[in-house]
């Protein structure tokens, strides 16, 4: 049987070496194409002088998303098509990485990199804070963590919203018993950092059990020590926090992180509330990296 493009790898090669395979082999393996179907595609490809992926789509044996996913594997660009993952549709960088919304996150990622991660700058975590509930902090923090992980660096997303945690839901993780709250209270010694199989450079630390005293836990020295530890082990650290209207948690987390991004929602967030939050950062050690308008 003819093979889809020349390559020494087999169609059943493990995920870790997909980038060494041809597009044809990746598509054939992912779609479980039979030998006869591969022959059909190759014949169509030769007849029309098109690429393997184009021929497969034309014959209805693959779709455009299959081809883009295969390309992403070759170029070390991990993402998880919505049909093949338990991740929330909110993760546009994972499920729809070629959409306009995903491109907006990449633009923000570039700006953040220039502002906070330029060569010679002190390494800092980024706290995502907002004045009011519903501004889209968790949505933004999750997608920005994915965006940073797609650069190839080890990225940790810490869910420090110990009032209404959502990151375990967004990433399809089981309800966690161990997490940040256990570390800060001195009760958890287990590994509380979870891997995300579809996104190999991304790690998530969930809240765990929701505590009755979130502000006090964040004010303890343990949170600052934790930030120093994870910054020594990860290239990027993003921290999700509660809204400022619920308490001082976000401001405390930002002070330990060293940098903050303020989230606002179009036609919803009050200007006065944003100004108050920005002014409060001016009196603390955290650098304001910017204010983001969420139109989602």
Give me the count of residues in the chain: 296
User: Could you tell me the sign of the dihedral formed by the alpha carbons of 284, 289, 290, 295, in that order?
Assistant: negative
> Which residues contact residue 93 at a Cβ distance below 8 angstroms, ignoring those fewer than 6 apart?
79, 102, 105, 143, 146, 147, 150
Residue pointed to by tokens 């022959």: 39
The pLDDT mean for the chain works out to: 84
* Strand 194-195 with 202-205, pairing: antiparallel
Give the model's pLDDT for residue 120: 67
Contact 157, 240 (CB under 8 A): yes
Give 218's Cβ-side CA count (13 Å radius): 28
How many alpha carbons fall within 13 Å on the CB side of residue 235?
17
| b/e sequence 245-257, b meaning 16+ C-beta within 10 Å | ebeebbbbbbbbb
Q: How confident is the model at residue 6 (pLDDT cuts 50, 70, 90)?
A: very low
Average pLDDT for residues 286-296, to the nearest whole number?
A: 90
Per-residue pLDDT of 98-137, as tens digits, reads: 889 989 999 999 999 888 887 667 889 999 999 999 999 9
Cβ atoms of 27 and 72 closer than 8 Å? no
- Mean pLDDT over 3-25 rounds to 46
* Local confidence band at 156 (pLDDT 50, 70, 90 cut-offs): very high
> Helices then strands (H, E): number in the chain?
13, 7
pLDDT for res 5: 42
Do 70 and 30 form a contact (C-beta atoms < 8 A)? yes
Choices 3.40.50.300, 1.10.10.60, 3.40.50.620, 3.40.1160.10: CATH for 92-294 = 3.40.50.300
| Average pLDDT score over residue span 44-56 | 82
Q: Pick the more confident residue, 84 or 49.
A: 49
What pLDDT does 115 receive?
Answer: 87
The percent of residues in the chain predicted with pLDDT above 90, rounded, is: 51
The sign of the dihedral angle between the CA atoms of 118, 120, 123, 126 is negative
222 pLDDT more than 60: yes
pLDDT of residue 8: 28
Taking residues 178-185, what's their average pLDDT? 92
- Interval 225-239: pLDDT, tens: 999 999 999 999 999
Closest alpha carbon to 191 in 199, 180, 200, 175: 180
Specify the long-range contacts of residues 4-7, CB closer than 8 Å, at least 24 apart. Answer: 4/28, 4/38, 4/41, 4/42, 4/52, 5/52
Three-point CA angle 279, 280, 281, nearest 5°: 90
The alpha-carbon radius of gyration of the chain (Å, integer) is 22
The whole-number pLDDT of residue 244 equals: 94
Report, as an integer, the average pLDDT of 236-251: 96
What is the structure's pLDDT at 86?
72
pTM value? 0.76
CB 215 within 8 A of CB 252: yes
Contact of 142 with 90, CB cutoff 8 Å: yes
The pLDDT confidence band at residue 82, using thresholds 50, 70 and 90, is low
Task: Please give the pLDDT value at position 78.
Answer: 57
Span 30-49, average pLDDT: 84
**Percent of the residues in the chain that have a pLDDT greater than 70, as a whole number:** 83
Stretch 205-231: mean pLDDT: 95
Cross-sheet strand order for the sheet of 236-240: 194-195, 202-205, 155-159, 236-240, 125-129, 258-265, 287-294
């Amino acid at each position: 049987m003819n093979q889809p493009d020349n390559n020494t790898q087999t169609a059943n090669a493990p995920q870790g070496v997909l980038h060494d395979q041809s597009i044809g082999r990746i598509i054939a393996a992912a779609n479980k194409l039979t030998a006869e179907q591969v022959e059909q595609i190759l014949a169509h490809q030769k007849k029309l002088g098109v690429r393997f992926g184009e021929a497969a789509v034309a014959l209805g044996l693959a779709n455009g998303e299959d081809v883009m996913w295969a390309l992403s594997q070759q170029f070390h660009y991990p993402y998880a098509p919505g049909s093949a993952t338990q991740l929330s549709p909110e993760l546009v960088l994972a499920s729809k990485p070629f959409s306009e919304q995903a491109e907006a996150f990449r633009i923000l990622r570039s700006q953040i990199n220039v502002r906070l991660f330029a060569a010679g700058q002190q390494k800092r975590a980024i706290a995502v804070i907002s004045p009011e509930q519903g501004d889209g902090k968790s949505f933004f923090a999750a997608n920005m963590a994915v965006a940073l992980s797609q650069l190839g660096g080890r990225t940790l997303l810490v869910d420090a919203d110990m009032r209404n945690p959502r990151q375990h839901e967004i990433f399809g993780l089981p309800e966690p018993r161990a997490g940040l709250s256990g570390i800060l209270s001195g009760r958890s010694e287990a590994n509380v950092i979870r891997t995300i199989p579809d996104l190999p450079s991304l790690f998530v630390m969930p809240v765990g059990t929701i505590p009755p005293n979130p502000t006090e836990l964040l004010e303890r020295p343990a949170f600052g020590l934790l930030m120093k530890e994870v910054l020594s082990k990860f290239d990027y650290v993003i921290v999700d926090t509660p809204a400022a209207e619920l308490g001082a948690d976000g401001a405390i987390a930002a002070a330990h992180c060293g940098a903050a991004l303020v989230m606002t929602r179009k036609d919803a967030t009050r200007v006065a509330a944003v100004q108050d939050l920005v002014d409060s950062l001016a009196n603390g050690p955290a650098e304001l990296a910017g204010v983001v308008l969420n139109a989602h």
